Amino acid sequence: MRRPDGLLDGAARALSTRLASGMTRRSFLGRMGGAVLAATGGAAVAAAVRPEKSEAFHFCGHIWTTGSCPNPLGLPRIDKNGFPLRPSDGHPIDNLGRPVNADGWAVDGSGSRLRSPDGEFLPRAPRTRICEEWTNEQYGLDAVMEGAWYRCCSGQVRKLVDCCSFSKKRINGDASLTGYCFNGRRVFCVMYYDSGLKC
């Protein structure tokens, strides 16, 4: 059981972390200045000092604002071919987010295949690529996995991968950037692959 002052400290730390991850120091000061001016001098002056967009923490190795590609469990962790993996441990999952064995059958925590009410094995659910199938179907695009860059995360090399399309808008709804895409494509959303190589 945590002491009340410990809980308070924890809450304050979480709040400061959120603030720090949501804004750079420059953007924070910019917003503060804008608020003060807005209160005293009016919106026209405040607009002149509006801060730039915050550089949000996304996931380890990615601090820019392009969002994650659609995926089953919230973080776009993929294997080397672009199929979904469980973010916590890299176990292969199907499109419903269930862990699967090497043949693609859904399994429980002990690795046994899941069964239907009559005792038969459950059928395999689809397992398709995050960029080429998930993103394209949900957003009506022709996206492909293209550019990549590398960062060190949790002691191993992480490959960050752009899902690139010809869309001028990215998954966030605003203008897309060229990033590491090529042939006229732009970054629509991002994914990552943990290589297992030490760094």
Partner 1 sequence: MVETFTPAVCGSRARQRLAIVLFALAAILASAALGAVLGLVGSLIGTRPALIGAAALAFLALLRETGVLRLPIPQSRRQVPEGWQYELPLPLWSTGYGAGLGVGFLTFQPVATFWVAGAAALALGRPLAAAGCFALYGAGRAFMATWPRRREPSGPAAVEKLVGRASLVPRANAVVLALAVVLLAIAPAAGAAVTSLGRGFDPAADGQTLARARMDSGTIKVLVNPPDPDPTDTISPANAPALDGDYLAYEDDAGIKVIDWRNDSPVTQLDGPYSHPALDWPLLAYIRDDGEYERLILADLSNPGHPTHRTIASVRPAADLGRPALRGGRLAWHRVVHGGSAIYVLNLANDQRRAVKRTNIWMEANPSVTAQRIVWVEHRPGGSYLRMKWFGSKRTKTLMHLNGRKTFLWTTALSGRTAYVTKWTPSTQKSVVLRVNF
Q: Which residues bind partner 1 (CB under 8 A)?
A: 72-73, 95-98, 103-104, 108, 114-119, 122-128, 133-134, 136-138
State whether the Cα torsion 192-156-98-104 is positive or negative: positive
Could you tell me the smallest distance in angstroms from the CB atom of residue 155 to partner 1? 29
Q: Which is nearer to partner 1, 111 or 196 (CB)?
A: 111
| Distance in Å, CB of 154 to partner 1, minimum | 24
Of 96 and 199, CB closest to partner 1: 96
Shortest separation between residue 124's beta carbon and partner 1, angstroms: 6
- The enclosing H or E element of 29 equals helix 25-41
> How many residues are given for the chain?
199
Residue 198 phi, psi (nearest 5): -70, 150
Q: Are 86 and 99 in contact (CB under 8 A)?
A: yes
Q: Which is nearer to partner 1, 61 or 84 (CB)?
A: 84
Q: Does an H or E element contain 138, and which?
A: helix 136-139
Q: Which is nearer to partner 1, 23 or 85 (CB)?
A: 85
